[in-house]
Amino acid sequence: MLIKQADDIKSSEITPERVYFSRRNFIRAGLLAGSTLATGALYQGFLAPIPEVNYQDPNVIARGTASEAGEALTPYSDITSYNNYYEFTTGKYGVARRARNFVTRPWTVTVDGLVNKPKTYDLDELLGLTAQEERIYRLRCVEGWSMVIPWTGLPLSAVLKEVEPHGDAAYVAFQTIEAPKQMPGWNSSGLDLPYVEGLRLDEAMHPLTLLASGLYGQPLPAQNGAPLRLVVPWKYGFKSIKSIVKITLTDRQPPTTWNIAAPREYGFYSNVNPNVAHPRWSQAKERRIGEFLRRDTLLFNGYADQVAGLYDNMNLRKNF
């Protein structure tokens, strides 16, 4: 895996964040002003304050492929205003408004199953397990549209090592919070809730698999999965379970919400594979948030050098 540390990035390669976003927001606002689809809500999103992140800080790293290190980050306003979170609403632009009163403190996460040391962690204790490893990870993610997001978090492997998995543990199951009174879309989502997700153990132990607690150096907003969500950058967005309260190690492949809802369309692995078409659309092209033209979708979302070995000798058409 190629890791480009902040010390290796020339200052001349980095456009100052506020200059970059001011320019892009000005251009976008002008384009929207001429569109009959422009709304006050969208303008408000474009004018949202951008948190400061110092990319010269040695504690901030750009982690991923070399080509990715040169990609522009997706604006904070886009990341936090265009979201999939069906427990709140199926409308992507409505999640932030409906999630604004979601309670994320106090919060505990139970890690159990086939482990020697099952435990229920307070959120701060969990995030403190590897405080020295917590960094900003600049990862390309696919979630409806593609984005390049600077996540703050820690490797999931740090948590799994802490609880000492049994030798027969082969999968990791995740469950989100069950809070229908706080989530206005709970009874109208059409999904079997609470939301569940799963990974193979070796996928979960991969250093690119994160438990994210923030973005742009700020605490994770509710609409993005606060206070703790899964980030697996070589998989599609439905491997991004939000508001996690339980992690269970098991010897059997766990159920996943989208596979339960539509097994013909959503398999367990959910790897980004442009060579396998979804039953209702092609996956060969994607559109980056903020761009008008579509680009070629990359195998494993551009992380093939790092993760393809996890799937040696597997039929990636059958195991989609």
pLDDT digits (tens), the chain, 320 positions: 222 333 333 333 333 334 333 433 433 333 333 333 333 332 233 233 444 555 444 344 444 443 345 677 888 999 999 999 999 999 999 999 999 999 999 999 999 999 999 999 999 999 888 654 445 677 777 765 789 898 888 899 999 999 999 999 999 999 999 999 999 999 999 999 999 999 999 999 999 999 999 998 889 999 999 999 999 999 998 899 999 999 999 999 999 999 999 999 999 999 999 999 988 989 999 998 888 899 999 999 999 999 999 999 999 999 99
> Is residue 207 one of the residues assigned to a domain?
yes
Q: From the CA atom positions of the chain, what is the Rg in Å?
A: 19
177-207 b/e with 16+ CB inside 10 Å = b?
beeeebbebbeebebebbbbbbbbbebbbbe
> Is residue 43 one of the residues assigned to a domain?
no
Q: Output the pTM of the full model.
A: 0.80
The residue to which tokens 């559109």 are assigned: 287
Give the chain's domain count: 1
> Is residue 18 one of the residues assigned to a domain?
no
Backbone angles phi, psi at 142, to 5 degrees: -115, 115
> Is residue 54 one of the residues assigned to a domain?
no
Q: Which domain holds residue 256?
A: 61-311
Residue 216 has a pLDDT of 86
Domain with residue 161: its CATH number is: 3.90.420.10
Separation of alpha carbons 320 and 315, rounded Å: 8
Check: CB of residue 79 under 8 Å from CB of residue 147.
Answer: yes
Contacts of 137 (CB under 8 A, 6+ apart): 61, 63, 64, 150, 151, 152, 153, 210, 231
Residue 269 has a pLDDT of 97
> Is residue 316 one of the residues assigned to a domain?
no
Distances (CA, A) of 73 to 139, 147, 149, 157, 235: 9, 8, 6, 26, 19
Contacts of 231 (CB under 8 A, 6+ apart): 137, 139, 141, 151, 153, 209, 210, 211, 212, 240
Residue 49 has a pLDDT of 43
> Is residue 226 one of the residues assigned to a domain?
yes
Residue 183 has a pLDDT of 97
